[in-house]
């Protein structure tokens, strides 16, 4: 695993929204889902236009250069694309981070999750070196999830349950798209599902935006939500109420 090469779309030295504190961010290349509102479609293919290729050791050496800026509350986050498509790289990179007690977070859609072997054993190994999973649940309804992303949500919800049973800390994210993910009954169902999970330290409602349209146009892709506006304040308030987003519920206390 030490010799595995990660295919990386980009690096951000001072991230501030994908995990607690200041984060060093790796955005991995490759994603199977085709979310209609995706703002980074250039990360879909495994090669991309100008991907970076690094071993976990090379990526770790680069990340450590910025450690002074993380202070006590920061660390490293791997996002995507979908980072779990490159689970061997992520696990080894996080393993190196834990040798120096660096906080690790994984931002994932959960789409690759399966109980099938050998992948499930790799998931368990990843859990051992990941302090926080930031799980993006696109839609609670399977049919609507499939229409929105091209894929079922059944294994994604299975991953959430597994992380809960396994004792892994989670943040849950939900993108609020008017007409697609703003239905009150769906939001209530999602809130009820989240309430069954242990170790959910934060729930975030992310307002839809159309900043990625130019990327879709550049790639020659049809953007079907071109006329969709961001959610209203009323829609945001309803989602925040139904998903109970106001509390950290202990993450700050335990990790920061």
Other C-beta atoms lying within 10 Å of the C-beta of residue 42:
20
pLDDT at residue 102, as a whole number: 94
> Is 208 a domain residue?
yes
Supply the CATH number for residue 179's domain. Answer: 3.20.20.70
> Is 216 a domain residue?
yes
Local structure of 38: helix, strand or coil: coil
CA pseudo-torsion sign 119, 37, 243, 256? positive
**11 within 8 A of 62, measured Cβ to Cβ:** yes
Dihedral, CA of residue 11, residue 12, residue 15 and residue 18, to nearest 10 = -20
Give residue 89's domain range: 6-255
Evaluate the omega torsion of the peptide bond into residue 90 and state whether it is cis, within 30 degrees of 0. Answer: no
> Is 233 a domain residue?
yes
What phi-psi label fits residue 179: left (phi over 0), alpha (psi between -120 and 50 degrees) or beta? left
pLDDT at residue 246, as a whole number: 53
Other C-beta atoms lying within 10 Å of the C-beta of residue 121:
9
State how far Cα 166 lies from the chain centre.
Answer: 18
> Is 1 a domain residue?
no
> Is 119 a domain residue?
yes
- Judged on CB neighbours under 10 Å (0-12, 13-18, 19+), 236 is middle
From the list 238, 169, 170, the residue with the least C-alpha distance to 207 is 238
> Is 136 a domain residue?
yes
Can you give the pLDDT of all 256 residues of the chain as single tens digits? 567 999 999 998 888 788 888 899 999 999 999 999 998 999 999 875 667 899 999 999 999 998 888 877 899 999 989 999 999 999 999 999 999 999 999 999 999 999 999 999 999 999 999 999 999 999 999 999 999 999 999 999 999 999 999 999 999 999 999 999 999 999 999 999 999 999 999 999 999 998 889 999 999 999 999 999 999 999 999 999 999 865 434 333 333 2
pLDDT at residue 255, as a whole number: 31
**219 within 8 A of 41, measured Cβ to Cβ:** yes
> Is 227 a domain residue?
yes
> Quick one: angle between helices 119-128 and 87-99, nearest 10?
20
> Is 209 a domain residue?
yes
The total number of structural domains in the chain stands at 1
């Amino acid at each position: 695993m030490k010799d595995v090469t990660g295919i990386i779309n980009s690096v951000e030295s001072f991230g501030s929204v994908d995990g607690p504190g200041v984060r060093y961010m790796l955005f991995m290349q490759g994603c199977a889902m085709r979310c209609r509102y995706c703002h980074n479609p250039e990360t879909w293919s495994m090669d991309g236009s100008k991907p970076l290729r690094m071993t976990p050791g090379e990526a770790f050496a680069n990340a450590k250069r910025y450690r002074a800026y993380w202070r006590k509350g920061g660390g490293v986050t791997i996002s995507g694309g979908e980072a779990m498509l490159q689970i061997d790289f992520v696990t080894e990179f996080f393993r190196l981070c834990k040798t120096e007690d660096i906080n690790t977070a994984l931002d994932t859609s959960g789409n690759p999750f399966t109980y099938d072997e050998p992948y499930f054993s790799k998931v368990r190994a990843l859990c051992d070196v990941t302090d926080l999973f930031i799980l993006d649940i696109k839609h609670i309804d399977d049919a609507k999830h499939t229409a929105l992303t091209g894929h079922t949500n059944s294994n994604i919800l299975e991953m959430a349950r597994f992380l809960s049973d396994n004792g892994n800390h989670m943040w849950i994210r939900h993108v609020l798209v008017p007409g697609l993910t703003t239905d009150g009954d769906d939001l209530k169902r999602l809130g009820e599902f989240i309430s069954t999970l242990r170790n959910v330290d934060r729930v975030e409602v992310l307002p839809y935006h159309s900043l990625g349209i130019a990327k879709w146009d550049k790639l020659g892709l049809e953007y079907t939500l071109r006329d969709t506006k961001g959610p209203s304040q009323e829609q945001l308030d309803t989602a925040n109420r139904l998903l109970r987003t106001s509390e950290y519920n202990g993450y700050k206390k335990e990790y920061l």
